[in-house]
């Protein structure tokens, strides 16, 4: 397991480094001997980052020592024991117990996937370890098979490599302004640069269980961009081998962290499987299941009541003309690590507003133009109107957040749009476009349609493959907007051209005072946080003018 013959070194006057056990992005792990206590130990020597200034390097070292000492306070049979934290020159070293055995990744590579019982045992032990760490305010942030050791003689499961752990209230141990972690096992909220917490570790454990059961992560793809899309958007295809533990795996791989199974409940379910051979349902109806009512993150007053309507329902939804109810919008995710790859891939020749808006269903709501792509063009973009419309009362005008401005659109509504967005139109659709048309905000007002907002969105989703090139991962969610029935449709598609690249759409439809309102935001995959903000603020601030009521 080690590389014999390396130069023997003694650090801190007592730890003799004897052979390398492994090397990773965080540093080198050595088999060593504690000469003072005459015991075998493992020493992790953190790598030197030559890109840091002397001051940054000192700050990083201080954080490492402070936070590694906090991790050393953890005492649990399934968490690696940290004996000491020392310095070798300017380089921090963590002294840990030496586990005689390989990693879970090694075991899978050598012997193939685990059976459900062994996977449940490992998962339950890891959940117990995470409960202890989270109670102490420590997040692991890099749970994956390579960081789980299995002791050869006893089968004891040990969670190791807290090297990028985060202590509550502290900056990250390795913080240099870059993403840390393993993308295939990283929770979507971390991937999109949003909040992180104990639930993010539980997502990683769900991905680990899938890997243990099937031999491969469900999010493995050929590129970082593909991994980002798989984690944040794509339908999660559970491996057949996960069937015995499916309630747990599904509950842990819930994209909304507020609905994700917690560690205690997931552990209870796995231990019940070990006792009875059957996995019980989650005790909470809201844990890890679609169909529960919860507040949709953001400022908008809409609340999903059931998500991911069955595909059979989408397929059988009554349809009118293929795109007669086509709202449209595309959502995107902002990956701290991977977005740069996607954005670079998308960068190329600009696509004009006319080309993007002409006779296409994927970038807007309602009935598209009957003209061919080369025919009728939308009006050229103009500066967004900002003076109050004569029919809008001051009491009804929304307030613009910082960086936004209120526009009183001649189509009969007011709302807040980001500063610098310009107006364009196509038939009964109004667009507000960012410079370069990266973000496209659309609004359509029309007469109510049969079945209300939910039926409209179901018909649009059913027609999605015919109106949106590469349409995928579509889902319709019944919700409300200010107490009124509404429906949210989101999907991914290939964009109008190779230069434009993949895009994702958010689209909310609701009825108000005898009219149907449709608001959507479209952006490249890789820019979700910003697109989501634009979407939430647009939905939250839209006020109809009296003449449309």
Which of 2-6, 31-35, 339-343 is the most confident on average?
31-35
Q: Which two tokens stand for residue 388?
A: 């109050």
Is 332 a residue whose pLDDT tops 80?
A: no
Round the average pLDDT of the chain to a whole number and report it. 75
Superfamily of domain covering 9-97: Phosphorylase Kinase; domain 1 (3.30.200.20)
The CA distance from 262 to 307, in Å, is 20
Secondary structure (H, E, C), 426-452:
ECCEEEEECHHHCCEEEEEEECCCCCH
What is the average pLDDT across 87-100? 85
The residue ranges of DSSP E strands in 469-514, in sequence order, are 472-481, 484-493, 503-512
Q: Whole-structure pTM over 0.75, yes or no?
A: no
Is 206 a residue whose pLDDT tops 60?
A: yes
Residue-wise pLDDT for 310-330, tens only, equals 333 333 333 333 333 333 333
Superfamily of domain covering 104-276: Transferase(Phosphotransferase) domain 1 (1.10.510.10)
Give pLDDT, residue 528: 66
Alpha helices in 193-291 (DSSP H): 198-214, 224-232, 246-252, 263-276
Superfamily of domain covering 311-369+398-548: Mog1/PsbP, alpha/beta/alpha sandwich (3.40.1000.10)
Q: 3-state class of 380 per DSSP?
A: strand
Give pLDDT, residue 148: 95
Residue-wise pLDDT for 286-306, tens only, equals 443 333 322 333 333 444 333
Q: Which of 199, 303, 308 is nearest to 260 (CA)?
A: 199
Domain ranges in the chain?
Answer: 9-97, 104-276, 311-369+398-548
> How many residues are listed for the chain in this entry?
549
Give pLDDT, residue 340: 35
Give pLDDT, residue 329: 34
Q: 3-state class of 523 per DSSP?
A: strand
> Predicted confidence band at 108 (pLDDT cuts at 50, 70, 90)?
very high
Is 514 a residue whose pLDDT tops 70?
A: yes
Q: Which two tokens stand for residue 386?
A: 């900002």
DSSP 125-167: HHHHHHHHHHHTTEE----SGGGEEE-TTT--EEE---TT-EE
Q: How far apart are the first and last CA of the chain?
A: 75
Evaluate whether 31 touches 2 at the Cβ level (below 8 Å): yes
HSE, side-chain direction, 13 A CA sphere, residue 213: 24
Residue-wise pLDDT for 428-463, tens only, equals 899 999 988 889 999 999 999 999 999 999 999 998
The CA distance from 304 to 477, in Å, is 6
Which of 193-197, 230-234, 266-270, 290-294 is the most confident on average?
266-270
**Same-fold call for 104-276 versus 311-369+398-548:** no
Give pLDDT, residue 308: 33
> Which range, of 128-137, 164-173, 208-217, 268-277, averages the lowest pLDDT?
164-173
The CA distance from 351 to 234, in Å, is 26
- CA distances to 32, 95, 245, 438, 534 from 40, rounded to whole Å, are 6, 10, 38, 57, 56
Is 377 a residue whose pLDDT tops 50?
A: no
More confident residue, 390 or 29: 29
Q: 3-state class of 150 per DSSP?
A: strand
Q: Which two tokens stand for residue 228?
A: 């980002």
More confident residue, 309 or 241: 241
Query: Could you give phi then psi for residue 245, rounded to 5 degrees?
Result: -110, 20
Evaluate whether 352 touches 207 at the Cβ level (below 8 Å): no
Residue-wise pLDDT for 77-91, tens only, equals 999 888 888 888 778
Evaluate whether 509 touches 446 at the Cβ level (below 8 Å): no
> Predicted confidence band at 363 (pLDDT cuts at 50, 70, 90)?
low
């Amino acid at each position: 397991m080690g590389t014999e013959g390396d130069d023997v070194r003694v650090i801190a006057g007592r730890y003799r480094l004897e052979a390398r056990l492994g090397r990773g992005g965080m540093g080198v792990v050595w088999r060593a001997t504690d000469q003072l206590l005459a015991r075998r130990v493992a020493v992790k020597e953190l790598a030197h980052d030559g890109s840091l200034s002397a001051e940054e390097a000192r700050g990083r070292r201080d954080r490492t020592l402070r936070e590694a000492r906090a991790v050393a306070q953890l005492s649990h049979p399934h968490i690696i024991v940290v004996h000491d934290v020392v310095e070798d020159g300017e380089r921090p070293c963590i002294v840990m117990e030496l586990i005689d055995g390989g990693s879970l990744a090694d075991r899978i590579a050598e012997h193939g996937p685990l059976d459900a019982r062994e996977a449940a045992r490992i998962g339950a032990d890891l959940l117990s370890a995470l409960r202890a760490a989270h109670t102490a305010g420590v997040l692991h942030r890099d749970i994956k098979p390579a960081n789980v050791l299995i002791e050869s003689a006893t089968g004891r499961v040990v969670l190791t490599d807290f090297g990028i752990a985060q202590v509550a209230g502290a900056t990250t141990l390795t913080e240099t302004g870059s993403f840390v972690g393993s993308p295939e096992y990283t929770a979507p909220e971390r991937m999109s640069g949003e909040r992180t917490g104990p639930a993010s570790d539980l997502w990683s454990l769900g991905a680990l269980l899938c890997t243990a059961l099937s031999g491969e992560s469900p999010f493995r793809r050929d590129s970082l961009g593909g991994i980002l899309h798989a984690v944040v958007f794509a339908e999660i295809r559970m491996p057949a081998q996960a069937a015995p533990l499916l309630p747990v795996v599904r509950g842990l791989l819930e994209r909304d962290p507020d609905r994700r199974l917690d560690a205690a409940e997931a552990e209870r379910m796995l231990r019940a499987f070990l006792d009875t051979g059957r996995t019980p349902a989650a005790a909470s109806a809201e844990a890890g299941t679609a169909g529960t009512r919860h507040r949709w993150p953001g400022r908008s007053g809409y609340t999903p009541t059931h998500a991911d309507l069955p595909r059979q329902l989408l397929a059988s939804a009554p349809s009118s003309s293929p795109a007669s109810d086509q709202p449209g919008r595309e959502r995107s995710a902002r990956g701290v690590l991977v977005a740069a790859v996607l954005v670079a891939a998308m960068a190329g020749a600009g696509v004009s507003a006319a080309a993007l808006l002409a006779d296409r269903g994927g970038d807007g709501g309602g009935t598209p133009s009957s003209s061919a792509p080369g025919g009728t063009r939308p009006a050229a973009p103009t500066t967004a109107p900002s003076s109050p419309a004569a029919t809008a009362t001051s009491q009804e005008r929304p307030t613009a957040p910082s960086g936004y401005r209120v526009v009183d659109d001649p189509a009969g509504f007011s709302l807040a749009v980001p500063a610098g967005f310009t107006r364009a139109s196509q038939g009964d659709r109004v667009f507000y476009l960012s410079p370069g048309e990266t973000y496209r905000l659309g609004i359509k007002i029309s007469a109510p349609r049969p079945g209300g907002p939910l039926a409209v969105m179901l018909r649009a989703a059913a027609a999605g493959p015919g109106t949106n090139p590469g349409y995928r991962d579509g889902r319709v969610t019944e919700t409300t907007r200010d107490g009124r029935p509404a429906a949210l449709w989101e999907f991914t598609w290939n964009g109008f051209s190779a230069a434009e690249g993949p895009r994702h759409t958010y689209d909310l439809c609701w009825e108000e005072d005898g009219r149907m309102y449709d608001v959507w935001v479209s952006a490249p995959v890789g820019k979700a946080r910003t697109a989501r903000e634009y979407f939430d603020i647009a939905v939250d601030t839209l006020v109809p003018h009296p003449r449309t009521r």
